């Protein structure tokens, strides 16, 4: 049983949707699935935050030494200018997940420490929503 729970936690730190399907496949209950995906999602966000800061410092040290900054134009920059950090925190986490959102935020040099509480809240809401949706769909079948 512990391996089932650890598998769901580990998988949900990267992709919550697949972890919910795995939990249903191995026979975890609704509440076990919810708790495991929440723990894994928050742990994945913390790991992404830590690794994102380390990767950003490495990039700034070795790759961006004497390069001119590129002009900020294009679709992603227009979206960033329109919605800002809050929009990226909410929309990015809902559609792409916490690790991808933190990676995008590092690329835009956003204040990740200010975005992180919002990302964690959205991860919890996302786990809650998709776990109950998955349980409901499983009962339909």
pLDDT per position as a tens digit, 47-105: 888 887 788 788 777 776 666 666 667 766 777 788 888 888 888 888 888 888 888 88
pTM: 0.81
Spatial CA neighbour of 40 closest among 2, 10, 70: 10
Predicted local distance difference test score (pLDDT) of residue 76: 67
Spatial CA neighbour of 93 closest among 119, 73, 55: 119
Answer whether 99's CB lies under 8 Å from 46's CB. no
Answer whether 20's CB lies under 8 Å from 135's CB. no
Predicted local distance difference test score (pLDDT) of residue 30: 92
DSSP state of 13: T
Q: Is 16 helix (H, G, I), strand (E, B) or coil?
A: helix
Number of neighbouring beta carbons within 10 Å of residue 39:
16
pLDDT tens track for 105-123: 877 878 888 888 888 899 9
Predicted local distance difference test score (pLDDT) of residue 100: 84
Number of domains observed in the structure of the chain = 1
- Domain span at residue 133 reads 2-140
Predicted local distance difference test score (pLDDT) of residue 64: 66
């Amino acid at each position: 049983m512990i391996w089932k729970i650890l598998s769901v936690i580990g998988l949900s730190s990267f992709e919550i949707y697949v972890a919910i399907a795995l939990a249903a496949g191995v026979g975890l209950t609704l509440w076990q699935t919810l708790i495991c995906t929440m723990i894994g999602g928050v742990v994945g966000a913390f790991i992404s935050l830590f690794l994102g800061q380390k990767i950003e410092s490495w990039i700034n040290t070795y790759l961006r030494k004497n390069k001119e900054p590129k002009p900020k134009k294009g679709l992603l920059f227009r979206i960033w200018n329109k919605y800002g950090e809050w929009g990226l925190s909410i929309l990015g986490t809902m559609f792409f997940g916490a690790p991808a959102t933190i990676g995008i935020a590092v690329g835009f040099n956003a204040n990740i420490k200010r975005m992180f509480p919002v990302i964690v809240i959205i991860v919890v809401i996302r786990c809650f929503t998709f776990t109950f949706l998955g349980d409901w769909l499983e009962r339909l079948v």
